[in-house]
Amino acid sequence: MAQLSQHYATGRRKSAIARVWIKPGSGRVIVNDQAADDYFKGLFFEPRMARPFALTESQEKYDVWATLSGGGKAAQVDALVHGISRALQTAVPEYRAPLKKAGLLTRDARAKERKKYGQRGARARFQYSKR
């Protein structure tokens, strides 16, 4: 069976969604038509983005092209890492074990809890006065 030259996966975190394509290349990461270091300017997300490649020892073997939407920058980075990990797993099935062990293939289901009526927030109540 012929190897596909490009692999697609979706990553999610909170309300952020990352649509990720990887293909053999030199290690460039393009996010929303910008270089990743320009898109996440001044934020220290480089080590988190490089983690799937470091675990699979595939630094500078794949080019990543992604579209991110929703959420904040931190959630977008986590969604991107989730998407890259899932795409690497489809590209090379042997990568599944180290990625799974590091927890990068598991979607982080934590999200904001909804505000309830009759309360100030999700858990906080309105101030109670005895008198």
* DSSP code per residue over 47-82: HHHHHHHHHTT-TTTEEEEEEEESS-HHHHHHHHHH
Whole-angstrom distance, CA of residue 57 vs CA of residue 122: 43
Cβ atoms of 88 and 124 within 8 Å: the answer is: no
Domain range summary for the chain, segments of one domain joined by +: 7-101
What does pTM read for this prediction?
Answer: 0.91
Mean pLDDT, the chain, rounded, equals 94
Summarize pLDDT for 68-127 with one digit per residue, the tens: 999 999 999 999 999 999 999 999 999 999 999 999 999 999 999 999 999 999 999 999
Pick the CATH number of 7-101 from 3.90.226.10, 3.30.70.100, 3.30.230.10, 3.30.499.10: 3.30.230.10
